[in-house]
Structure 1
Amino acid sequence: MKIKAAVTPETGKPFKMTDVELPEVGSNDVLIKVVASGICHTDVSGRDTGMVDPPSVLGHEGAGVVEEVGSEVTEFQKGDHVVVSFASCGECDNCTSGHPAHCRNYAELNLSSHIDQDTNKLVSRFFGQSSFATYSLVHQRNVVKIDKDIDLALAAPLGCGLQTGASTVLNVLKPEAGSSIAVFGVGAVGLSGVMAAKIAGCKNIIAVDLHDNRLELAKELGATATIKSGKDVDIAGKIQEITGSGVGNILDSTGVDAVIEQAILSLDTFGKLATVVTDDGFKLPLEILALGGNSIIGTSQGDAVPQEFIPQMISYYKEGKFPFDKMVKYYEFDDINKAFEESEKGSVIKPILKIND
């Protein structure tokens, strides 16, 4: 099947609109007409760092309408509205125990994409979907059916970034009502964490970021205090001033070692820091952790089960508790390079490509 896709021709190069061949629908596959796809920082890494083998098709926050299903697919049918999340094998011990985001085959299934230049066929798909395309072929395990009364274009980013931030707070940190939390980096992941902290009933919700526009939005979405970060800013000291003793919970979405050091210094006794991305060169100050009884938790996708958590986020949205529509900006598919540019500048928090309106 011939589809239109935004192809990464070489590492670090702009996307080019190209016709690509999609493989035949397999017995466990779902063919989706992609309505929209969110743009996530992992897509930037896929384009620029050699994570994938170009030419490739990125995109991993897809949403659309089911066009066709394989012979073994029973939970989906033509016309269903769906969001697509990460791929998992469904067979390893982590998958079978309810932790598909920590699938032992996660890297193999998600962090690759390649177009065979002899056949022009998309032979491996990013996060099992490669949603920067008019159609996406996805294993049924990736797919989540959603209500038809929510805009599919708006729902697209629920499959990764928003899920990661919200689930890290609600399902990994699990702050008690009345507790304190700081969110370092309030892009899409961090702002989702801020909204989740408000849902959890946290008393102090402190947002930390370089960008004034993000801090303003964080206050609108539930932050009780904000701190503008910078090279000479004593973030830990400011958090101590606000809380008196530090915070019990921290979500870090920056992966910057200097920021994480400040975050650790901001923890109260027995405080927990959850990070969704880290710098390979980070040196952990073990003595600080030991003296404070603190812990650092690494997590993928907030340890979420998408089939459970994505509908939960939609319910929160309908109840007015998770107004993530305030952080999005829509772009036409052909404007993908502009969307990436504005996202990297920080002027847009969550870009969403409209692919099949």
Structure 2
Amino acid sequence: MTTTVTAAVAPATGAPLQVRELQLDDPRPDEVRVRMVATGVCHTDAIVRDGIYPTPLPAVLGHEGAGVVEAIGAGVTSVAVGDHVVLSAAYCGHCRRCRAGQMAYCENLMAEDFGGRRRDGSTSLSDGQTPISSHFFGQSAFSTYANVVETSVVKVSSTAPLEKLAPLGCGLQTGAGAVLNELRPEPGTSLVVFGTGAVGSAAIMAARVAGCTTVIAVDLHDSRLELARELGATHTINSASVDASKEIVEITHGSGVDYALDTTAVPAVLRQAADALAIRGTLALVGAAKPGTEVAFEIGASLVKGWTFKTIIQGSSVPQVFIPRLVELWEQGRFPFDKLIRTYSLKDINTAFADSAEGSAIKPVVVF
């Protein structure tokens, strides 16, 4: 038996999304039927649409869903009908990394999140006789309803507005988690964020939560830098007009920055960030680049600095633990991520993508 849903379909590489009516099958024993209230638009949706990551098209994308549980499969135990949920990345739950509590680094991540199919090869969505890839990040949330794998489902407080919570599933979790779960800066330390979109803005807010006393935001847009100050940045740098590395060294009185987070994945920016590090500093990358992208670091004079470079996925978080914590921080006014949100209807989803790409919208959210 199938249910008719309205969804935004990515039909072919680089093509605009098309809003269509599709057929959704019944939830499997390990799945949850979710009525979507809102879904964030993320850079990862765009790079999959454009063929940089390998999800088979046509597909329903969307991986920052928030909604209400309508039905549960026979094997589901973590949520009940009527629960409010945020949807995050899927993970297998049985590999070594998952067993160690490192779900963000699931050894089966590509199949679970980008494969476009269930583990048995089926897809939950179809357009007549044409299969449509589903289960993007376990959810495919650019749809009025979705059959979501249980590992993607995070129960949240019923008092928090779902239309605001959607971006926590990926981008905001990534930025905040990179700081709070992985870098873990000590109070009184310095941190710089390159790129103040949704991920970078979340990192800035998290740096203030962690107690960093020097928080530097670097971007090309003055409007974003103004918002970064509102969110907690103590200093801002427009790197279109000045050398960011030199400015950072000056701000830190010659010592360099303790922590640097790059959200851009631009090799030249990563090099700038490395050059601005203090002795024993740490540089982390959360931005997604095309596979095969390389960056050159100076290793001669750098040897005596003992600095660290690391990559971070999904904020190194366990979504079912970390996302409710972010909701609590928001409720206390300490993580005001709602200032980043601009809402769109499903029919205007391509406008949301365009506004995100040009930088006029920091965090577009489709509200159903």
Cα offsets for 1:202-235 (capped at 9, x unmatched): 01000000111110000000000000012x6311
Q: Residue 228 of structure 2 corresponds to which residue in structure 1? A: 218
Q: Residue 84 of structure 2 corresponds to which residue in structure 1? A: 81
Cα offsets for 1:169-209 (capped at 9, x unmatched): 01111000000000010100000000000001101000000
Q: Residue 66 of structure 1 corresponds to which residue in structure 2? A: 69
Q: For residue 124 of structure 1, report the CA deviation from its aligned partner.
A: 3.6
Q: What is the rounded CA distance, in whole Å, between the counterparts of 2:142 and 2:206 in structure 1?
A: 28
Q: Residue 43 of structure 1 corresponds to which residue in structure 2? A: 45
- Structure 2's unaligned 5+ residue stretches are 118-124
Within-5 A mapping of 1:335-354: 335-354=348-367
Give the alignment partner of residue 151 of structure 2, picking from 128, 141, 149.
141
Give the alignment partner of residue 316 of structure 2, picking from 291, 296, 303.
303
TM-score normalised by L of structure 1: 0.96
Q: For residue 78 of structure 1, report the CA deviation from its aligned partner.
A: 1.1
Does the 8 Å contact 2:271/2:295 carry over to 1?
no
Q: For residue 290 of structure 1, report the CA deviation from its aligned partner.
A: 2.2
Does the 8 Å contact 2:86/2:154 carry over to 1?
yes
Does the 8 Å contact 1:11/1:50 carry over to 2?
no
Q: Residue 106 of structure 1 corresponds to which residue in structure 2? A: 109
- Judged with a 3 Å threshold, the aligned counterparts in structure 2 of structure 1 residues 149 and 50 are, in CA distance, closer, same or farther, namely same
Give the alignment partner of residue 278 of structure 2, picking from 244, 256, 268.
268
- Judged with a 3 Å threshold, the aligned counterparts in structure 2 of structure 1 residues 34 and 117 are, in CA distance, closer, same or farther, namely closer
Q: What is the rounded CA distance, in whole Å, between the counterparts of 1:220 and 1:36 in structure 2?
A: 25
Q: What is the rounded CA distance, in whole Å, between the counterparts of 1:307 and 1:208 in structure 2?
A: 31
Q: What is the rounded CA distance, in whole Å, between the counterparts of 2:301 and 2:197 in structure 1?
A: 28
Within-5 A mapping of 1:307-318: 307-318=320-331
Give the 3-state SS of the residue equivalent to 2:147 in structure 1: strand
The residue type paired with residue 4 of structure 2 is K
Provide the aligned length of Structure 1 versus Structure 2.
354
Larger mean Cα displacement after TM superposition, 125-134 or 48-57: 48-57
Q: What is the rounded CA distance, in whole Å, between the counterparts of 1:203 and 1:21 in structure 2?
A: 52
Q: Residue 346 of structure 2 corresponds to which residue in structure 1? A: 333
The residue type paired with residue 40 of structure 1 is C
Q: Residue 219 of structure 2 corresponds to which residue in structure 1? A: 209
The residue type paired with residue 176 of structure 1 is E
Does the 8 Å contact 1:274/1:299 carry over to 2?
yes
- Structure 1's unaligned 5+ residue stretches are none
Larger mean Cα displacement after TM superposition, 41-50 or 219-228: 41-50
Give the 3-state SS of the residue equivalent to 1:172 in structure 2: helix
Cα offsets for 1:15-53 (capped at 9, x unmatched): 111122223211111010011100000011011125222
Q: What is the rounded CA distance, in whole Å, between the counterparts of 1:151 and 1:58 in structure 2?
A: 23
Q: What is the rounded CA distance, in whole Å, between the counterparts of 1:111 and 1:288 in structure 2?
A: 41
Does the 8 Å contact 1:22/1:122 carry over to 2?
no
Cα offsets for 1:32-87 (capped at 9, x unmatched): 00111000000110111252221111100000000100001122111110000000
Q: For residue 116 of structure 1, report the CA deviation from its aligned partner.
A: 5.9
Q: Does 1:161 align with 2:174?
A: no
Once superposed, what is the RMSD of the aligned Cα atoms? Answer: 1.4
Give the alignment partner of residue 264 of structure 2, picking from 247, 254, 257.
254
Give the 3-state SS of the residue equivalent to 2:300 in structure 1: helix
